[in-house]
A and B are shown apart, each in its own frame.
Chain A
Amino acid sequence: MAKRTAYLLIAAAGMILLLFPFPGKTALEKEPGPKIPPDRIIINLPPEAGRDDMPPVPFLHTRHTNSVDGDCVQCHVQKEGTLVFRYQRIDLPASMDLYHDNCIVCHEQKKSAGEPAGPTTAQCRQCHGASVPDPEPGTHWEKIEFDRSLHYQHEVSDHIPSPDKAVSPDNCQACHHQYDDTAQQIVFERGSESACIYCHKKESADGVRSIREASHDACVACHLEKKNQEITAGPIDCYGCHAANVVAELPKIENPPRLKRSQPDAVFMTGGTAVEDQTSYRISPVIFNHKQHESAAVSCRVCHHDSLESCTSCHTPDGDEKGGFVRLEQAMHADTESGSCVGCHVKETRAPDCAGCHDVMPRSRMNEDTCLVCHNAPDRGVVKDAGMRKMRAEQFDTPASAEYRTVTRADIPEFVVIGSLSATYQPSRFPHRKVIDGIARRVEDSDLANAFHKHQQTLCMGCHHNSPASLTPPACAACHAPAVDGVPAAAPRVPDLKTAYHEQCMGCHQKMEIASVPSTDCLVCHEKK
């Protein structure tokens, strides 16, 4: 009998050990995945002295909205046709009792009514440190980027009340404001509109509300107000703005007009002078086409990352604390930062349309010739008058595509038969002109590409590399010798001819994501012998 109980005990212990192989890994210790549902709000009160700290509560807002059938006042206080976007309070700080006394009570009520409900008393860990299910693919939370189409729709909407509607038809002042420190109040200043996030940062500080609070109170409150007035307005639930797939369904205006902020069309950018009364700038100034870059960048904040002032106000040539000690030269040329000129250009070359050629080009992309593309002012003399500078900029600014010159079509061979190696396969009939057309098509709309390429012959150099630009470039075999009977090529960096062809062609196809020519399908390019 004792043997039998012993066996039973061992079996039970084995089962328990099998079911819990890794004790200690709770849901909260799991690495947060990159995808979270848009309506997840983390309730995490600061720890109180003398009290055990419970893990934060992930609160799913949409789930609760649905459970009260959209009746917001169950949890939110009403205010002037809209709501206070805080839980059951207007100004009181959050506390444990606030949440427990309201959340749990509602859950208990629902439970006794026989409806599905959340955790009730003594089910602490079902809220605290609960795991949130992964969202469906495509419905995860995404950062809201500035959208010119949406902004324009707000600009021209008749339903948005603007404080100075009588003076001007624009709705700018409905949202854009400044804060007057001396008067300690919000003021409206035309012509000083900028991004909300310049002042409303990620966390609330010094009486300035966080971007989340500010935008919910400004945007969602207004949407809700309009909805209560039976006017079609923007989303009022989390998924409506924060889920990428829902945002994609919002009405879109193609090519919205330029933002009205009195931006310059061209800017005369100088590097300053070494001493006060010098007569020429340190380097040829840059005639910067601001208008073109406005449409190229997603939003102003790509370059004006902290304020709309000019870059040199913080990024001085010698470095200043305001600019984080990032010198002007670094701010303009750092090729890893997308906020710098060169960095953004480099990032653009990584797009599939450009990567075929640009990915195989070695790192040091800046050389003596590329400086001139930007530092293109014909005159290096100091211009003291601001009006004169503006005139200079507009005078010398030319759209890049106007300078772009194409190669005569007859000079581009239509087919090139690559047959110097044909042991296993037939010679390959390469549709040379078709490929050039494909590449040209992709880049000719890009002002950035045309500014740097200037001549279509530059495109030839993507494949006909390491040799001067020419309409009759040297043959590949001039440098890439075919491997003879297994003997290796001369140096690692010069592959043999077969490898050179394949690396060049397949590499380009892969990087430009051309699915019609899979690398593993040999017969697409050459038939078998």
Chain B
Amino acid sequence: MGISRRKFIGCLGALALGQAAGVPGTAKGAAGKEFSGWPDSLGVLHDITKCIGCRQCESACQRVNNLPAPETAFDDLSVLDRKRRTDADVFTVVNRFDSDRPVFVKKQCNHCLEPACASACFVKAFEKTPEGAVVYDESLCVGCRYCMVACPFNIPAYEYHKALDPRVTKCTLCHPRIKEGKRPGCVEDCPAGALISGKRDELIAYAWQRIQTFPERYVSHVYGEHEMGGTSWLYLSGHPFSEVGMREDLGTKSAPELTAGPLSAVPIVVGLWPVLLTGVYAISKRKEKIAAQEKQAAVEQAVAQSRKQAQDQLETLRKKWDQEKQSAINFEVKKALEEAAAKDPEPSQTKEDE
């Protein structure tokens, strides 16, 4: 065909490399199939039936994290009249849901076992620490906010008001404190016993024990045990979770697991397709070139042939014309001779007599 041996082997090599890099399942990073959490990682159990909506957790969070003071004081409970979400300097909010009685729910980063934010971040600004907290490194962040899009619970907030160095903000599970063995600030300050911190496995067991001990009090479900592959924040509720603002349509697959399949195909696509397409391009280009060449040759041949033909024809014609010319000459000569003969009878007869 025309491709050199070197090029051919080079193509093979690229194919092999691309294959090796893109085998699904061996991709590093966040595509683990069955990660049930770091052992001994911290969790927090939020018992919604016990929350009284006092907002002491919000106050503690602001104090412990040195966040700016809010516009309305934390003991102003009228803010509960409308639903709020996390904001740039607001890591956690308490919302009220009105049912047969008012129900209060605390909302913050759930510190998923396999976080979607960490998976979406292409600069690895989020890290799932062995303590259980998902922490954010602002020095790596580029501000693309893919994490905000990826989070199924809609938690990360952004400092839109800062022009030059905005950060993504979210609950840190008081990572510095829990490394010292202390409890997160909100858990510490909750007076009603709605927040309990401890090892995640122990909390799950305790939550189910509570459900069995008081079955008429709780919905038989520990939210966060399996949602999105499992979260560090676990919830118990007396009302259906969808009625207290918690999504029940998330499924039990973690976000990285959902995206691992398509993402693992990227290297193989990136490695293989240029090679393939280049090959196809090369082959088709070559084919064109050969076709052009053949066409050229054919044209030349045709031209030569027709030229020769023309020449031959010309020769034939020339011969014919020569012939005609000759015959015309002969004819004229003959005619002249005949005319001369007719005008002048035979000279031999007249000459002798006289």
A: residues with CB less than 8 A from B are 350, 359, 362-363, 483, 485-488, 491-493, 495, 498-500, 502-503, 506-507, 510, 519-520, 522
Contact = CB atoms under 8 A, between A and B. Distances in A.
Nearest to B53: A520
A510 B52 CA distance: 9
Contact of A487 (B54, B183, B191, B198): B183
B175 to A, nearest CB: 13
B181 interface: yes
A359 B49 CA distance: 12
Given A362-B214, A483-B188, 20 more contacts: A350-B216, A359-B214, A363-B212, A363-B213, A363-B215, A486-B177, A488-B197, A492-B45, A492-B203, A492-B206, A495-B193, A495-B196, A498-B191, A499-B193, A500-B193, A502-B193, A503-B50, A503-B192, A519-B192, A520-B52
A97 B45 CA distance: 64
B202 A492 contact: yes
A520 B54 contact: yes
B268 interface: no
B155 to A, nearest CB: 24
B112 to A, nearest CB: 21
Interface of B: 45, 50, 52-54, 77, 177, 180-183, 187-188, 190-193, 196-198, 202-203, 206, 209, 212-217
Given A498-B191, A499-B190, A503-B50, A493 B177 contact: no
Nearest to B188: A486
B193 A488 contact: no
A486 B206 contact: no
Nearest to A483: B188
16 contacts: A350-B216, A363-B214, A486-B177, A486-B180, A486-B183, A487-B181, A488-B182, A488-B197, A492-B198, A492-B202, A499-B191, A499-B193, A502-B191, A503-B192, A503-B193, A506-B192
Contacts of B198: 488, 491-492
Contacts, number: 61
Contacts of A506: 52, 191-192
Nearest to B199: A492
A344 to B, nearest CB: 15
Contacts of A483: 183, 188
Contact of A492 (B53, B196, B212): B196
Question: Which of A350, A483, A492, A493 has its CB near the most chain B CB atoms (within 10 A)?
Answer: A492
Contacts of B215: 363
A270 B181 CA distance: 60
B250 to A, nearest CB: 25
Which A-B residue pairs are the 6 nearest by beta carbons? A486-B182, A503-B193, A519-B52, A502-B191, A492-B206, A499-B193
Question: Which of A350, A506, A519, A520 has its CB near the most chain B CB atoms (within 10 A)?
Answer: A520
Contacts of B217: 359
Nearest to B80: A520
A365 to B, nearest CB: 11
Contacts of B203: 492
A261 B52 CA distance: 51
Contacts of B180: 486
A507 B202 contact: no
Given A363-B215, A499-B191, A520 B77 contact: yes
A498 B190 CA distance: 9
A351 B193 CA distance: 23
B107 to A, nearest CB: 18
B206 A507 contact: no
A485 B183 CA distance: 9
A506 B19 CA distance: 63
Contacts of A486: 177, 180, 182-183, 188
Contacts of B206: 492-493
Contacts of A520: 52-54, 77
B139 to A, nearest CB: 28
A495 B52 CA distance: 17
Nearest to B42: A488
Nearest to A493: B206
Contacts of B52: 506, 510, 519-520
A516 to B, nearest CB: 16
